Structure 1
Amino acid sequence: MNRLLALLLTVGILAGCGSGNKHTSGGRPVTFEDFKALFPEQQAPYRLMADSLLQKQPDSLALQRDVLKQFLTDTLAGTDSTKTRHLKYYPLAYIAGSNLQYFVIRAVDRSSTVAYICFTDKKGKYLNRMVAARKDANSPEQMSFTLDNKYVIKTSTEKPVGSNTALKEDFYMANANGAITLIMTNSNGPTTPGQIFNPIDTLAHKHKFSGDYTSGDMNIISIRDGQDAKTFQFFITFSKDNGNCKGELSGTGHFTGSNKGEYKDKETSCGIGFQFGAGRVSIREIGGCGAYRGIKCFFEGGYVKKKAPSAK
């Protein structure tokens, strides 16, 4: 039996389940594996554009609400739309992550289409969900999303402003318990100090080079202690050319000398060299890091260490 036929049979089985009967036609209870089989299996990186939400799907592939309620206990029905009786739900993608499982579901009513990412643990226990893409018939604003190979979720919201297009990008990370953390927000509008969320801010910083280094409000290098004396953790974010060129990178570096460090990305040719001094750090690219920045700017320059707040 090929996958398509198996999928259609599973849809038919689940469609026949009433709100009080969660069993297959053969009497076998509907399992999480049955539910997962309804979703086309994909791998990260995965991208869903807002325009693709308008593509019609056969009603035979629609998910039944009682099935959603069985496996996604925080039922989607009625939460984000007042026209719940017109809503239909379609499975778009299943992605197996390192700590979580990701289910992308399309919810359609008469005037709008929304895509949700629902999170379960590795055993199939429902944890949380978020709106990741949207296309409204009566609004020029639209939202798309990308799930990268590090399982960072980037939502991109676009809307026309005069003859231009305003773009806002929000970066999220879903933790193993399903909690969703906003990592950073980018916008091609005027930048506002304080928009940056430092994901390693609360980690230990006892090493002499650990701390936060800045070069303006939107340019930060955060250094934190590593697992041993030979390593350090870092987070870099910068915005140059009035916000037209931005970059962000985080990872684990290794000390290569008494005041030098180096980072090499495992998935690209990107590398960063760190030169520490008295209250300063300088960085330079030692490999192509275009995957983490704009094409007209680089991870480079000097940053001054911020004074640590006094302990009370």
Structure 2
Amino acid sequence: MRLIPVCLAAIILLLVSCNGNKKVKTQADDDITLKEFVDFFPRATFPYTINDTVLNRKEKDSLRISLVAFKTFIPDSVFTRYFGAKPKAKLFPLVKGKDSNENIFLFIKSLAAAKKAYVFCFTKNLRYINSREIAETDKDPSYRRYCEVSKNMNFKIVTETKKPGEQVDIKEDNLFLDNSGHFRTAVIVSNKDLSDEVPVNPLDTLPRKNKFSADYLQDKKNIVSIRDGKNFKTCLFFIHFSKNDGECMGELKGKAEFTAPNKAMFTDKTGPCGIEFIFTNSTVTIKETGGCGNYRGITCFFEGSYTKKKEPVKPKEKKKKKSDLKSW
């Protein structure tokens, strides 16, 4: 009978020993769970700044995040938008924080051609909410973007662009995550005269053979540009507007699908934003059908009518007379 306690003690010691040898998973493991991933991030003391010093800091390779695991924590469209279909970036954990709603904010650094930082937001039940690029530095010394994060998870994203001479254009975007899980712009502060800023149209040189492919204007600062899609059912668009002397601006580029001969719809795959386009022979009218606060100021909207820009008439080529033709 005395052997029974001895055997039980031996079994307990064996179990403890086996449990002690169990490998603790880290952010580098492909099979890590989201809870284990979140637990790995260190808590920050806020306010916290992500700037050139943080982005250029050398990281231990042992801290590198598994792309295989991280891709399972966020939507595929979000992962591809930030890192591409065949990602080459190296990701490293920075810090984590919480807001008053117990939402979890994970700050991650990406090292590739440019060094960037992102924030990824999850509910307390670990459901993905939203994300955003918040800081960047690259080899171009004339440009940098950094972020200051408050203890309430408010974000001040500062963009600095050096101009010829000693001038530096500074723009501050103050953002917060609202109760519906969307980033809202509280205020934009800039030393640059945005009222005279003319947008650069990224679609300018693309084909415009389809019926409604053209530039539609209110003035030089308010434009809707439509270009041919891959087929007649789609179109590419670029919208830029500036209201109230540049105090409220919006910009969005994407692909819309025709739902009727003169109507197209854009639906954002990563948020609630939706825009309706209604065409006539000479105008396009746009209207938000879903909140597009991620792409504009908080006091203005993607809306209004724009008039088709008249294209210059090409001079007809003169037919050469027979007398002008050289004989061979």
* CA distance in structure 1 between the aligned counterparts of 2:115 and 2:41, rounded to whole angstroms: 18
Question: Out of 147, 170, 177, which is 2:180 matched to?
Answer: 177
User: TM-score, length-normalised on structure 2?
Assistant: 0.49
The aligned counterpart of 1:48 is: 50
Q: 1:57 to 1:120 in 2, by over 3 A?
A: same
* CA distance in structure 2 between the aligned counterparts of 1:42 and 1:33, rounded to whole angstroms: 18
The aligned counterpart of 2:309 is: none
Deviations 1:62-95 (A, max 9, x none): 1111211222234654323559442111110100
Deviations 1:11-45 (A, max 9, x none): 2xx5342xxxx3xxxxxxx4333111221111432
Larger radius of gyration: 2
The aligned counterpart of 1:10 is: 25
The aligned counterpart of 2:39 is: 37
Amino acid at match of 2:25: T
Q: RMSD of aligned C-alpha atoms?
A: 2.4
* CA distance in structure 2 between the aligned counterparts of 1:191 and 1:9, rounded to whole angstroms: 52
The aligned counterpart of 1:86 is: 88
Structure 1 segments of 4+ aligned residues over 4 angstroms from their partners: 74-77, 81-84, 194-197
Amino acid at match of 1:10: K
* CA distance in structure 2 between the aligned counterparts of 1:16 and 1:114, rounded to whole angstroms: 23
* CA distance in structure 2 between the aligned counterparts of 1:84 and 1:31, rounded to whole angstroms: 22
The aligned counterpart of 1:124 is: 126
The aligned counterpart of 1:217 is: none
- Runs of 5+ consecutive residues of structure 1 not aligned to the other structure: 1-7, 23-29, 198-312
Say whether residues 1:150 and 2:152 are aligned partners.
yes
The aligned counterpart of 1:98 is: 100
Secondary structure at the residue paired with 1:145?
strand
- Superposition pairs of residues 206-225 of structure 1, within 5 angstroms: none
* CA distance in structure 1 between the aligned counterparts of 2:45 and 2:175, rounded to whole angstroms: 18
Asked if structure 2 preserves the Cα contact closer than 8 Å seen for 1:183 and 1:196, the reply is no
Amino acid at match of 1:153: F
Asked if structure 1 preserves the Cα contact closer than 8 Å seen for 2:99 and 2:153, the reply is yes
Asked if structure 2 preserves the Cα contact closer than 8 Å seen for 1:146 and 1:154, the reply is yes
* CA distance in structure 2 between the aligned counterparts of 1:75 and 1:40, rounded to whole angstroms: 27
Amino acid at match of 1:86: K
The aligned counterpart of 2:135 is: 133
Secondary structure at the residue paired with 1:157?
strand
Asked if structure 2 preserves the Cα contact closer than 8 Å seen for 1:104 and 1:117, the reply is yes
* CA distance in structure 1 between the aligned counterparts of 2:84 and 2:168, rounded to whole angstroms: 29
* CA distance in structure 1 between the aligned counterparts of 2:55 and 2:72, rounded to whole angstroms: 25
The aligned counterpart of 1:271 is: none
Asked if structure 2 preserves the Cα contact closer than 8 Å seen for 1:185 and 1:195, the reply is no
Amino acid at match of 1:176: N
Asked if structure 1 preserves the Cα contact closer than 8 Å seen for 2:194 and 2:245, the reply is no
Q: 1:83 to 1:126 in 2, by over 3 A?
A: closer
User: TM-score, length-normalised on structure 1?
Assistant: 0.51
Secondary structure at the residue paired with 1:182?
strand
Secondary structure at the residue paired with 2:82?
coil
* Displacement after TM superposition at 1:51 (Å): 3.4
Secondary structure at the residue paired with 2:71?
helix
Q: Which moved more, 1:48-57 or 1:154-163?
A: 48-57
Q: 1:117 to 1:74 in 2, by over 3 A?
A: farther
Asked if structure 1 preserves the Cα contact closer than 8 Å seen for 2:160 and 2:168, the reply is yes
The aligned counterpart of 1:62 is: 64
* CA distance in structure 1 between the aligned counterparts of 2:77 and 2:47, rounded to whole angstroms: 27
Q: 1:16 to 1:33 in 2, by over 3 A?
A: closer
* CA distance in structure 2 between the aligned counterparts of 1:15 and 1:50, rounded to whole angstroms: 25
- Runs of 5+ consecutive residues of structure 2 not aligned to the other structure: 1-22, 196-243, 249-328
Say whether residues 1:188 and 2:201 are aligned partners.
no
Q: 1:10 to 1:155 in 2, by over 3 A?
A: same
Amino acid at match of 1:179: H
Question: Out of 160, 165, 169, which is 1:166 matched to?
Answer: 169
Secondary structure at the residue paired with 1:94?
strand
Amino acid at match of 1:189: K
* CA distance in structure 2 between the aligned counterparts of 1:74 and 1:42, rounded to whole angstroms: 28
Amino acid at match of 2:56: L
